[in-house]
Amino acid sequence: MKLEEMTWEEVKKAAEQNTTMIIPSGGLAGYGLHLPLGTNVMIVYELALKVAEETNVVVAPPLWYGYEYSTDNFVEVTLWPDHFKEYVYWLVRSLVNKGFKKFILFYGALHNISPLNYCAQKIVEKFPKTKVAVVGWWQLVQKTLMKLFPGEIGHHAESSETSLMLVLRPELCRVDKIKDEMPEIVLFYDLYPRPPQCSTSSGVDGKPSLASKEKGEKLVKEIVDKMKRMIENELVLESDFYK
């Protein structure tokens, strides 16, 4: 169910039934020449809607604006982290006041993890009966990513995101403009400001040429299946990464 398409009576009933609320979020940023600015939001929103087709959840309208590391090259549209975390906190708090107690903050942009974790901890401290999971889609399929894309070392507009978009929003993929590119310097930590050598000319960081619709379909199925299990088990899902 999409929250914005429900009547107030249906929303009230969903809250009374202790229905889980999924809130997709990300940000607008350059995704190479082959993917749109809203890629990371589209991925988590479309995945959330597929989960809603198979289990009883409410999907909130996606949060298009989050924190993105801003550069001069790729049209990132960003909120300051303090503003983003307070925005999400008051949004979730409003839904708690309407009776919802279980939330999945489902994010597609890695930079948002700290603000979202802040929000989750603040919510459960203020409302002890609530439960909030903070989940990135790739956390659910880490082993599968390693198997499907063994030659991938990038992490932005790369093979997995391109594969997911080929399934979820294929009409927005400019496959003729796919370009593999890695920066001259790859850091294993955050550095501000980021040196120019840590960026590429296209905004791609990886090998989107490894992408395919078939690989995307495998990822979609596993992500949806694991989110269903999480929802059915009170938001607890044991990692299978080390098994």
CA–CA dist 1, 135 (Å, integer): 20
> What pLDDT shows up at residue 222?
97
Domain boundaries, the chain: 3-232
Per the listing, tokens 């590391």 go with 69
Q: Residue 176 class from Cβ within 10 Å (0-12 exposed, 13-18 middle, 19+ buried)?
A: exposed
Helix, strand, coil in percent for the chain, rounding step 5: 45, 15, 40
Which pair of tokens denotes residue 68?
A: 């993105």
Q: Report CA-CA distances (Å) from 178 to 8, 32, 216.
A: 44, 8, 16
| Stated pTM of the model | 0.94
CA–CA dist 53, 225 (Å, integer): 12
Task: Give me the CATH code for the 3-232 domain, please.
Answer: 3.40.50.10310
CA–CA dist 40, 58 (Å, integer): 20
> What pLDDT shows up at residue 76?
75
Do the beta carbons of residue 78 and residue 70 sit within 8 Å? yes
Q: Specify the amino acid at residue 193.
A: P
> What pLDDT shows up at residue 16?
97
Regions of the chain with pLDDT less than 70? 69-75
Chain center to CA of 234: 20
> What pLDDT shows up at residue 71?
60
Do the beta carbons of residue 104 and residue 131 sit within 8 Å? no
